[in-house]
Structure 1
Amino acid sequence: MKLKLFIFKIILATLIALLPFSTVNFIVDPYQFYRIPKFYKPVYFNDQRYQNPGLAKTQNYSLAIIGTSMSDNFLLSYMNNALNRKTIRLSAIGASMYEQRLTAEVVIRSKKADTIIYELNYFSFRGASDRVTHTGKGFPYHMYQRGIMSHLKYLCNPETLLRSYQVLLKHYKGIMHSTMVEDLEKLNTWYDRPNFGKGNVLLDWNMAQNDLQRADPDEFKWEYIKENADKNLLDLIKSNPETEFILFYPPFSILMHKFLDNRGLFDEEIKLKQYIYENTKNLHNVKIYDFQDIKEITHNLDNYSDMSHYSIEINEYIINSIAKEQHLVNDSNIEQKLNNLIKQVEEYEVEK
């Protein structure tokens, strides 16, 4: 009994000690977990795994796009105009399918969007079905969860307090931290970097040949790929029939598929596409767009900064295609599109 009382007193004392800090965090709310700020000009942080849940909860939108760094350059203004929707971009570098599902669940719980554009990146399906990217701060599970502990971990978190300090420093002193931006449209975009071109893509190809971490076959076993598809994609779609899911395969350069083929991983990539289509073709809330067999894009290496990351013009092409329902996968073209890509990989010769 005395032990329980002692523990209770410790917890109570801790909460009292943290009250001033948690009050500051609640008022400033640096990640916009509760509200869009009113007393200071909104700023946004580039740590996507922390910032995205707040954006999903509090921004005004009817369509969300979720993906990896391949989706970083979808500009909100362009999407708003092309799709005639109010959009939000919730991309995260190297996002796993589990991380994308967590983000989608926050979007769905917010009841703001009736449509989610969802990137299907083969690399996101690798590894365990609960794989997350741990930055130096760890993965912020609490930002994606519900319940009292989610709020306590946010409000009593030193990381939140640091961000609150940076927000106040910007507001009162005009000092902008390097991880902050004021323009939500520009948050985490990289389209203006001067590293696009064939030379950089071929350099990336050469550097990747002896880099096991680029595509470790042990992480791409079919059991992992299938489990990620089942738990983090198909279950999500089937559990939310009122939400429209627009799935798209990002147009890697032909060199990336060639690289995967050399690693013995390309057949599983094709198998995954077949598996997803067969398990979604009869669902009324799913559309699939496949851009990976479009030679005019994927064989023009000047469109890329490395084997996978493409220019903003390709992002715009994807959005325009979705608006016009072009490159939509259906029963009459699924096999042809897959065979197109298979043939392209077989016939493509990499420049020496």
Structure 2
Amino acid sequence: MHIRHLTLLLASALVTTLAVAAVNLAVDPLQLFHGSAHPYYTTDSRMQSAGLIRSQEFDTAFIGTSIALYVRPSSIDLTLGGKSIKLAAPGMTSPEQRFVLETAISTRHPKRVIWMMDDFAFRSAEDVDTLDYLPADLYRLNPKGVAGYLLDLTMLRDSLGIAARRFQDLDMTMTQLTWIGVLRFTEDNLDNLNTVHSAFVSNRYRRDLAWKSFRHNRDNPARLRLRYNQAKVEQQFRHDAIDFIRAHPDVDFTIIFPPYSILNFIALREILPRDYAVFFRINSYMLRQLAALPNVDLSIFEQLKRSLTISTNMRTFGTTRRRSTNSFFGACGMEFTGSTGKSRTSSSTRYGNRSKPIALTVRGEH
């Protein structure tokens, strides 16, 4: 009798497990195994990027941290041509960025990588397999990652929610469930994923708030203190950036830098001059190392021009004019001519004139 009950229990568990896997495979929220006629995307960028790499066709991979999330892939496509994919995530460390880029390059073989590079990202040397918030096995799509994906009960809930949205009577209910966080796959427009609404931009990025933040930093210097070691940052930079770029000579890397408010650096210089000196030395070192690579194109943001202000419905990430760019590089003992001067002819032919300034726009929704 006990054996019969045990057999029924095991059979029920097996059927339930197979049913969960079958539903997740059929809907496939991340589109790891097949496409979808009506896809939805999650704002969990670390998880979603694993699916985007497998499901999207692209020749340009764009990666960075929080600011990079604001950029729409269509803006990159319009400015530079080609088809891009955004693989950015908030607080993304350099080991994460290298791992995600490695997966993208080995899977889809993009011709170009646009890398919004931040010195703070190189503070960490953690192994990606130790990070609970990064599903590394999902990127690898190994047995552990596949099993975890297909048998995930939270993913089952998302699968059922996506399936239910195909019924008009249930669509509003499912939408409301996404608003309260029950369902994670909220966005049906990939270009809008993790971008910001124009109202948010106009309310959060104003002159008075910028000065308020500056005064707050001035009164609380601990917020500005650099909590990393210069030697370790440079070592991690060589490993995760320089060595990685050298390992992919057939990929063109366009390096851009986050357009942080100039007030942050003014505050750092006035309040913590030693930290400012460390910051400047690290960035000078990064620029010199990057400029020596033949498949790297450098684009430096001008942080004092209107192109970096945030208006009601647009934020422009623009590069500097040549004079101001030369002054920046000149401080680092370098001369800027619009590109590294070592770019291959094939790169210029493929994407047009590489010395042309790159402007990435972030348009708010209306």
Distance 1:235 1:203, change over 3 A: same
Show the counterpart of 2:117.
Answer: 120
1:48 aligns with 2:45: yes
AA partner of residue 194 (structure 2): N
Matched, 1:237 2:234: no
Distance 1:254 1:240, change over 3 A: same
Partner of 2:32: 33
Larger Rg over CA atoms: 2
Aligned to 1:64: 61
**Other-structure match for 1:313:** 315
76, 80, 94: which one aligns with 1:83:
80
Which residue number corresponds to residue 17 of structure 2? 18
Counterpart residue number, 1:3: none
1:14 CA drift (Å) = 7.2
Alignment of 1:258-269 (within 5 A): 258-261=266-269, 262-263=271-272, 264-269=274-279
User: Alpha-carbon deviation of 1:272?
Assistant: 2.2
Helix, strand or coil for the counterpart of 1:30?
Answer: coil
Note the residue ranges of structure 1 that are not aligned, 5 or more in a row: 1-10, 341-352
Q: 1:223 aligns with which of 228, 231, 243?
A: 231
In the alignment, which residue of structure 2 is the partner of 1:278?
288
Task: Show the counterpart of 1:188.
Answer: 194
1:166 aligns with: 161
Which residue number corresponds to residue 354 of structure 2? none
Identity %: 22
Query: For residue 109 of structure 1, what is the aligned residue in structure 2?
Result: 106
Go from structure 1 to structure 2 and tell me whether the alpha carbon gap of 1:197 and 1:118 turns closer, same or farther (over 3 Å shift).
same
Residues 334/197 of structure 1: CA separation in 2 closer, same or farther (3 Å cut): closer
> C-alpha distance in 1, partners of 2:323/2:137?
37
Do the aligned partners of residues 211 and 34 (structure 1) sit closer, same or farther apart at CA in structure 2, a change above 3 Å counting? farther
Q: How many residue pairs were aligned?
A: 310
CA–CA separation in structure 2 for the residues paired with 1:65 and 1:104: 9
Partner residue of 1:5?
A: none
CA contact (8 A) 1:290 1:329 kept: no
Q: 1:74 aligns to what SS in structure 2?
A: coil
Amino acid at match of 1:21: V
Whether the 8 Å CA contact 1:191–1:312 is kept in 2: the answer is no
Please say if 1:156 is aligned against 2:151. yes
Q: Is the 8 A contact 2:62 2:115 kept in 1?
A: yes
Secondary structure of the corresponding residue to residue 305 of structure 2: helix
Specify the SS of the correspondent of 1:124.
helix
Q: Secondary structure at the match of 1:118?
A: strand
Counterpart code for 1:203:
K
Deviations 1:257-305 (A, max 9, x none): 123333443222222222223323332211111115x53259x8xx259
Partner Cα distance (1:156, 1:211) in 2: 47
Across the aligned residues of Structure 1 and Structure 2, the Cα RMSD in angstroms comes to 3.5
Match for 2:211 among 191, 202, 207? 202
Give the TM-score, by structure 2 length.
0.73
The answer as to whether partners of 2:58 and 2:85 remain within 8 angstroms in 1 is: yes
Letter in 1 for 2:135: P
- Quote the Cα distance in structure 2 between the aligned partners of 1:245 and 1:230: 15
Larger mean Cα displacement after TM superposition, 256-265 or 198-207: 256-265
Residue 34 and residue 266 in structure 1: after superposition, are their counterparts in 2 closer, same or farther (change >3 A)? farther
Q: 1:231 to 1:34 in 2, by over 3 A?
A: farther
Once the two structures are TM-superposed, the CA of residue 104 in structure 1 deviates from its matched residue by 0.8
CA–CA separation in structure 2 for the residues paired with 1:66 and 1:86 = 14
User: 1:204 Cα shift?
Assistant: 2.3
**Given the superposition, is the C-alpha separation of residues 153 and 225 from structure 1 closer, same or farther in structure 2, using an over 3 Å criterion?**
same
TM-score normalised by length of structure 1? 0.76
